[in-house]
């Protein structure tokens, strides 16, 4: 069964914006687990704009499914990952604004440093994925640096306007998934996926997990997190 991971960053974003103690991303994660998610994703930014160190450590202590830590390839973050020991680390480019869905790791430019970070984390028994664009060269380089898997960025597809642009973007994702499978990489996808765009992935059985945050949390504001998760779970089960 294809997995559904919920990203709880949007819950932390609301909390930080209001400068209050609620809503609580840990409570959101626990409710999402009850509703049927297979893992919880959080992104610890270097500036701690959303998820805080305390959130990460509480998630590690409380959730019963997988914990996936998204982070930059820095020595500080590697140290935190090795201390907290999530089930998986996904390496992201770091930026000073909320553009994670638009910016990908560039393995042409940062090949050596990413390879070193991947090795440091894997040597401590933690699998690593890389957040990359659906481009053949990037996928081949991901394989060369020894990563366990990739997280294919779906933002371009989800934000495409017009039938042709969306078809072209989806075709690139399909080709990327097929190539990654040939290279025996674990395949996750996400960023921008919602209750409509997820339907375009029907038949793409090579994808092992979808990581979705904003769409589910936005829906949860209206109908509650239990229903929001169950609706997305049903859509993924039908793919």
> The domain spanning residue 60 has which CATH number?
3.20.20.70
Q: Where does residue 13 fall: left (phi above 0), alpha (psi -120 to 50 degrees), or beta otherwise? A: alpha
Confidence (pLDDT) at 109: 95
Residue 216, classed as helix, strand or coil, is: helix
110 catalytic residue (yes or no): no
Expressed as residue numbers, the domain containing 17 is 3-237
* Rounded Cα distance, 184 and 186, in Å: 7
User: Model's pTM, two decimal places?
Assistant: 0.96
Cβ atoms of 130 and 114 within 8 Å: the answer is yes
If DSSP codes are grouped into helix, strand and coil, which group holds residue 200? helix
Half-sphere exposure of 210 (CA within 13 A, CB side): 31
Q: Which of 43, 45, 50, 151 is catalytic?
A: 43
Look at residue 208 in the predicted model and tell me its pLDDT.
Answer: 98
Average pLDDT across each block of 10 residues of the chain; the chain has 239 residues. List them in order. Answer: 97 95 97 98 96 98 98 97 98 74 89 97 98 98 98 96 96 98 98 97 98 98 98 98
- Catalytic residue chosen out of the listed positions 45, 50, 151, 191: 191
Look at the block and give the residue holding tokens 């109908």: 223
Integer angstrom CA distances of residue 81 from 65, 70, 89, 169, 179: 17, 10, 7, 33, 29
Q: Hey, what's the torsion of the CAs at 14, 19, 24, 25, to 10 degrees?
A: 50
- The residue annotated as part of the active site, out of 33, 50, 70, 135, is 70
Q: How many domains does the chain have?
A: 1
Assess whether 151 carries a catalytic annotation: no
Note if 208 is an active site residue. no
Task: Provide the pLDDT for residue 145.
Answer: 97
């Amino acid at each position: 069964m294809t997995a559904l991971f919920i990203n709880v960053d949007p819950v932390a974003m609301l909390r930080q914006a209001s400068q209050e103690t609620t809503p609580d991303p840990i409570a959101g994660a626990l409710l999402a687990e009850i509703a049927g998610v297979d893992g919880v994703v959080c992104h610890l930014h270097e500036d701690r704009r959303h998820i805080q160190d305390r959130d990460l450590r509480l998630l590690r202590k409380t959730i019963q499914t997988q914990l996936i830590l998204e982070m930059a390839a820095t020595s500080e973050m590697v140290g935190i990952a090795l201390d907290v020991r999530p089930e998986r680390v996904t390496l992201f480019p770091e930026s000073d604004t909320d553009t994670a869905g638009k910016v990908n790791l560039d393995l042409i430019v940062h090949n050596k440093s990413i390879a070193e970070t991947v090795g440091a984390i894997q040597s401590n028994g933690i699998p690593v994925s890389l957040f990359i664009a659906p481009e053949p060269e990037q996928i081949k380089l991901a394989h060369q640096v020894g990563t366990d898997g990739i997280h294919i960025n779906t933002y371009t597809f989800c934000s495409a306007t017009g039938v042709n642009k969306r078809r072209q973007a989806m075709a690139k994702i399909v080709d990327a998934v097929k190539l990654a499978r040939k290279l025996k990489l674990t395949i996750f996808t996400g960023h921008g996926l919602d209750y409509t765009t997820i339907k375009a992935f029907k038949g793409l059985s090579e994808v092992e997990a979808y990581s979705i945050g904003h769409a589910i949390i936005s829906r949860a504001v209206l109908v509650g997190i239990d229903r929001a998760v169950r609706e997305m779970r049903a859509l993924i089960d039908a793919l």
